Chains A and B, each alone.
Chain A
Amino acid sequence: MGSRASTLLREEEIEEIKKETGFSHSQITRLYSRFTSLDKGENGTLSREDFQRIPELAINPLGDRIINAFFPEGEDQVNFRGFMRTLAHFRPIEDNEKNKNYSGDFIAFRLYDLDRDDKISRDELLQVLRMMVGVNISDEQLGSIADRTIQEADTNGDNSISFNEFIKVLEKVDVEQKMSIRFLH
């Protein structure tokens, strides 16, 4: 498992990934070791089954959606670069990089917007809600929750939530709270 870790990842690659994603050297080697341990087929890429083998992810109600976020449109395999690029969205932003459009927001938007048309429709919202609550809430209740949410967020009256409207709703949520994944060094 680990014996291939440092040998297969060349220094130049590590530098490129460092520039692209902002992870540190040791974080990249550690994540590479994690990547290879998940890669049961040992072919340098991960498939959806490789992710689903993680029990804690399999029991996450939004597990499938999260896995989808790693795979580009229409593809079934993700290589290490793609893996790191997606993870980079969850890295906490350093003070000098802070900008209004926190990339974590974009990933969250993607989790709702399944057909990637840059709009969260009522149906898409219902789908996500259904995934999160399972069978415990009736269709009517869920429908009214969805309606209320869209009402509060929709400012241009098209009965769906665009990315900008989404960001406005989340504006006040503390960045640290959103994706407060505590990375060590």
Chain B
Amino acid sequence: MFLSLCPFDNLVCILLGISFTVWFTLLLVFIIVPAIFGVSFGIRRLYMKTLLKIFEWATLRIERGAKEKNHPLYKPYSNAIIAREPTSLEQEIKEIRRSGSNRDFDSASEFEMSDIFYFARRGVESIMDDEVTKRFSAEELESWNLLTRSNYNFHYISLRLTVLWGLGLLIRYGFLLPLRVTLAFTGVGLLVFLTSVIGLLPNGRMKNFLSEKVHLMCYRICVRALTAIITYHDSENKPKNGGICVANHTSPIDVIILASDGCYAMVGQIHGGLMGVIQRSMVKACPHIWFERSEVKDRHLVAKRLSDHVEDKSKLPILIFPEGTCINNTSVMMFKKGSFEIGATVYPVAIKYDPRFGDAFWNSSKFGMVNYLLRMMSSWAIVCSVWYLPPMSREEGEDAVQFANRVKAAIARQGGLVDLLWDGGLKRGKVKDTFKEEQQKLYSKMLVGTQEDRSRS
């Protein structure tokens, strides 16, 4: 019995050995070597086109199946519940009063009981649909991309569709995920190892040159680890030394996407664990700006370190995400003014993900980092567009907040995102009372303002 197992064992060993070698060679030739030199075979784009055709077919199939069974389909995009018009408080209350009043002239009386309708209506409208809370959860898709996580209509529609979905599952978890995890480990491992080695070199042009190459190479491997298909637009506007690059924030992957096309100095808090190891070795090769947890609160310290870095023209441009938190890529929220006070040239960058292939938004209240990365690596692909916008500087008579809003508007316009004034911090915190006080002030002016007119006449 023992003898009969041996030849079988040998066969298995040989097969394993061969498949391993083949696997590794393919990996090296098609993925790692192009990453080192920054060229691409175009495999990912072909993959993307094929997927799109399959998704279209799947959506048509679902629609047809739903029609046959007389099931009304749930279509998120075409189902906005209410239409809201942005009119001012004064205008609307005047409208309500005018329609109920006998008086002909346009002067508003001091208080009408019907004024309450304005506030009640606004309140109920915001209960049914508001601009802010929906930005903190993943965007809803119009067509199905064969991932259960984004499906709202998945009842058993047809055998073919289920088979396709099952096949997709197999490919994603059986083939793509292990491949990507291997690549990710390779990329990160190389980054830590090589930057530590470069750190041993004396400061000078050679060190900077090597550091740049190493960073780019490792980020490119990481890009392939996510099967990220990125289109860069207007590369002539790429950030230069001594500038600050600002971009809208959707996920930690934003960093990888930008850093694989240019070299930046990162800013952030020092973490523990694996993140901390990576951060500490990166800073050996070229100066990044890492803060201790206690230093983060000290705005003066932060501003000083940023300005010092920016003044040294030999240092790389700083990469900052002024929203301060991840937003779901349908809108841009308030930019924190800190980075706009420094007075350096700002290079805005807009990043827009295509959610059909995999939603990149990191909902940090729902998923931890590891869970998130696994979800990313088991999606079909991450497809996004990056626009480098022309540099902007603060103008005469403009303060930091106005400058920040101007940059934000430019980014929102380019990326096709909604420009919101709300603070991304609302994801976790409560809204400030000052906004309510503003509304109260506006309304009081309506009541009291007319009293002054009365006393005059």
Q: Which residues of B contact A52 (CB under 8 A)?
A: 430
Interface segment out of the listed B44-52, B132-140, B203-211, B269-277 = B132-140
* Complex CA–CA separation, A55 to B256 (angstroms): 32
Q: Which residues of B contact A5 (CB under 8 A)?
A: 74, 152
The reply to whether A132 and B115 contact each other, CB–CB distance below 8 Å, is: yes
Q: Which residues of A contact B84 (CB under 8 A)?
A: 182
The reply to whether B120 and A179 contact each other, CB–CB distance below 8 Å, is: yes
Interface: B281 (CB within 8 A): no
- Which of B76, B116, B117, B447 interacts with A2 by CB under 8 Å? B76
Interface: A60 (CB within 8 A): yes
Interface: A74 (CB within 8 A): no
Interface: B451 (CB within 8 A): yes
Given A27-B81, A31-B128, A181-B121, is A173 in contact with B99 using a C-beta cutoff of 8 Å?
Answer: yes
* Complex CA–CA separation, A96 to B444 (angstroms): 39
Min C-beta distance of A14 to chain B, whole Å: 9
Interface: B79 (CB within 8 A): yes
The reply to whether B82 and A181 contact each other, CB–CB distance below 8 Å, is: yes
Interface: A17 (CB within 8 A): no
The reply to whether A141 and B448 contact each other, CB–CB distance below 8 Å, is: yes
The reply to whether B113 and A149 contact each other, CB–CB distance below 8 Å, is: yes
The reply to whether B130 and A169 contact each other, CB–CB distance below 8 Å, is: no
Q: Which residues of A contact B133 (CB under 8 A)?
A: 37-38, 53-55
Q: Is the interface of A mostly helix, strand, loop or mixed?
A: helix
The reply to whether B99 and A61 contact each other, CB–CB distance below 8 Å, is: no
Q: Which residues of B contact A183 (CB under 8 A)?
A: 81-82
Q: Which residues of B contact A184 (CB under 8 A)?
A: 79-83
Closest chain B residue to A134, Cβ basis:
B440
- Which of A6, A26, A55, A90 interacts with B152 by CB under 8 Å? A6
Closest chain A residue to B79, Cβ basis:
A30
Q: Which of B111, B121, B127, B138 has the most CB of A within 10 A?
A: B127
Contact with A along B136-164 (1 / 0, CB 8 A): 01101000000011111100000000000
Interface: B422 (CB within 8 A): yes
The reply to whether A111 and B116 contact each other, CB–CB distance below 8 Å, is: yes
The reply to whether A54 and B130 contact each other, CB–CB distance below 8 Å, is: yes
* Complex CA–CA separation, A72 to B72 (angstroms): 32
Contact with A along B77-106 (1 / 0, CB 8 A): 001111111000000000110011110000
* Complex CA–CA separation, A47 to B115 (angstroms): 27
Interface: A51 (CB within 8 A): yes
Min C-beta distance of B356 to chain A, whole Å: 16
Interface: B33 (CB within 8 A): no
Given A153-B113, A182-B82, is A133 in contact with B128 using a C-beta cutoff of 8 Å?
Answer: no
Interface: B371 (CB within 8 A): no
The reply to whether A1 and B137 contact each other, CB–CB distance below 8 Å, is: yes
The reply to whether A59 and B114 contact each other, CB–CB distance below 8 Å, is: no
Min C-beta distance of A115 to chain B, whole Å: 17
The reply to whether B96 and A56 contact each other, CB–CB distance below 8 Å, is: no
The reply to whether B122 and A56 contact each other, CB–CB distance below 8 Å, is: yes
- Which of A1, A6, A53 interacts with B153 by CB under 8 Å? A6
Interface: B40 (CB within 8 A): no
The reply to whether B137 and A57 contact each other, CB–CB distance below 8 Å, is: no
Interface: B125 (CB within 8 A): yes
The reply to whether B152 and A136 contact each other, CB–CB distance below 8 Å, is: no
The reply to whether B132 and A90 contact each other, CB–CB distance below 8 Å, is: no
* Complex CA–CA separation, A39 to B215 (angstroms): 44
Q: Which residues of B contact A33 (CB under 8 A)?
A: 74, 76
* Complex CA–CA separation, A180 to B126 (angstroms): 14
The reply to whether A132 and B132 contact each other, CB–CB distance below 8 Å, is: no
The reply to whether A62 and B121 contact each other, CB–CB distance below 8 Å, is: no
Q: Which residues of A contact B445 (CB under 8 A)?
A: 136
Interface segment out of the listed B177-185, B319-327, B337-345, B431-439 = B431-439
Closest chain A residue to B83, Cβ basis:
A182
Q: Which residues of A contact B430 (CB under 8 A)?
A: 52, 58
The reply to whether A56 and B126 contact each other, CB–CB distance below 8 Å, is: yes
Interface: B129 (CB within 8 A): yes
The 7 closest A-B pairs by CB, nearest first: A134-B440, A173-B100, A136-B444, A56-B126, A66-B123, A59-B435, A174-B99
Would you mind naming 16 contact pairs between A and B with Cβ atoms under 8 Å apart? A2-B76, A53-B133, A56-B130, A58-B430, A60-B123, A60-B126, A63-B436, A66-B127, A104-B117, A133-B440, A134-B436, A136-B448, A149-B111, A169-B113, A172-B99, A173-B96
Interface residues of A (CB under 8 A from B): 1-3, 5-6, 25-27, 29-31, 33-34, 37-38, 51-63, 66, 87, 90, 104, 107-108, 111-112, 128-129, 132-137, 141, 145, 148-149, 153, 161, 166, 169-174, 177-184
With A145-B447, A148-B110, A170-B100 known, 17 other A-B pairs at CB within 8 A are A6-B152, A31-B81, A31-B128, A34-B128, A57-B123, A61-B440, A133-B443, A134-B437, A136-B441, A136-B444, A136-B448, A149-B111, A153-B113, A169-B114, A177-B96, A181-B124, A184-B79
